[in-house]
Amino acid sequence: MASKQQKYAKLEAHSGYTGLWKTDLSNACIASPGFCCTSIFCSWCVSYHLRKRALHNDMTRYLCCNGDWPCSGRCGEQSCPEFCLCTEVFFCFPQSVASTRWMLQDEMRLQNTECDNCIIGTMFAAQYLACLCWIAACISGNDILNDLAILADNIADILWCSVCACMQTQHKVQMDERDTNPAVGMPYAAPLPQAMGAPPPAPAYNTYTPPAQQGFGGYPP
């Protein structure tokens, strides 16, 4: 795992980002309603599509979870990146969405708005509350607490699905802006795999230059 100093340095760098998302989470579904609906009903496919697009369709730059976990760089990414990405979005879906978000934030120096942070924090708080309700229901065996746990769980699931769909739509809208206005972004340098044994060497990501025109057609409106 990354050292505490590395984590603090990364957080400090993020605090200095001054760019803004093209649309915030509260307006993402309005900015691209068709894509938002697709993100709700086919979230894994959308996550795969957005990660590949975030990499400028260059899968030689792919690292599992973008190098954020000890397994990154040790999952056969170099030999079969498409299969590894499929595995990531299916088994580690929340992390796949978060990794794509952090990639875009690092590439375009984007900061979350206070509203975005509030929405994301509420989503996490609902998950924790549902977990606590289930623990209380299991310990007490009380039917009322069990019903309350079911209700809290359903609310948390609804929040998760809606916020995640809006988040992926926000990513799509931001990449639309990046691809039509190359000055918005800059070549992204992926992190090295985290130290755990002897990791394979990472490719030289910082030498990548995006093509002048991106052929990203066929997205939902």
Residue 6 falls within a domain, yes or no?
no
Residue 218 falls within a domain, yes or no?
no
Residue 132 falls within a domain, yes or no?
yes
Residue 63 falls within a domain, yes or no?
yes
Residue 98 falls within a domain, yes or no?
yes
Find the domain containing 63 and state its range: 23-199
Q: How confident is the model at residue 17 (pLDDT cuts 50, 70, 90)?
A: confident
Domain count, the chain: 1
Residue 106 falls within a domain, yes or no?
yes
Task: Assign 3-class secondary structure to the chain.
Answer: CCCHHHHHHHHHHHHCCCEECCCCHHHHHHHCHHHHHHHHHCHHHHHHHHHHHHCCCCHHHCCHHHHCCCCCCCCCCCCCHHHHHHHHHHHCHHHHHHHHHHHHHHHHCEECCHHHHHHHHHHHHHHHHHHHHHHHHHHHCCHHHHHHHHHHHHHHHHHHHHHHHHHHHHHHHHHHHHHHCHHHCCCCCCCCCCCCCCCCCCCCHHHCCCCCCCCCCCCCC
pLDDT tens string 111-127:
999 999 999 999 999 99
pLDDT tens string 174-209:
999 999 887 665 555 555 554 444 444 444 434 445
Residue 117 falls within a domain, yes or no?
yes
Lowest mean pLDDT among 77-81, 85-89, 141-145, 158-162: 77-81
Residue 43 falls within a domain, yes or no?
yes
